[in-house]
Amino acid sequence: MKSHRIGAWGEEIASQYLEAKGYRILARNWRTQEGELDLVAQDGETVVFIEVKTRTTKDFGWPEESVTATKRRRLQRSAMAYLTDQGLMDLLWRIDVIAIDRDQSGCVERLEHYIDAVDGERDIR
């Protein structure tokens, strides 16, 4: 399965997971010059930017390990661009990461939700 289809599958799984937890999805694959925000959701009064990482093998490590310092900075800049574009600068916001491992049969083997995972400095795992 091609990586973009695996990514889209993971984003759909993450979206269903978040909606089941009461989040409201505001945007999917929102693009800016800085990059793309996989999911934008609302959790109560907080705008949440969700980076979804999906893997089908451990050959390249855990999915969350691919959220490097460079990626975290890009996510922060993209989040600021979204907030500015939507006129939401006064709202609380955070960046979460959802890591999904998919087994050989195409089912979710593991889903880990890291809340407020990106502050620009620390690693996720």
Contact 47, 30 (CB under 8 A): no
DSSP assigned state of 37:
E
Residue 55 lies in a domain: yes
To the nearest whole number, what is the mean pLDDT of the chain?
89
Total domain count, the chain: 1
| Residue 46 is assigned to a structural domain of this protein | yes
Per-residue pLDDT tens digits for 34-45: 889 999 999 999
Q: Is residue 120 part of a domain?
A: no
Examine residue 82 and state whether it is found in any structural domain, yes or no.
Answer: yes
Here the CATH number for the domain that contains residue 77 is 3.40.1350.10
Q: Which domain holds residue 101?
A: 3-114
Torsion angle of alpha carbons 13, 97, 73, 54, nearest 10°? -50
Cα separation, 19 vs 11, whole angstroms: 12
Residue 37 lies in a domain: yes
Question: Is this model's pTM higher than 0.85 or not?
Answer: yes
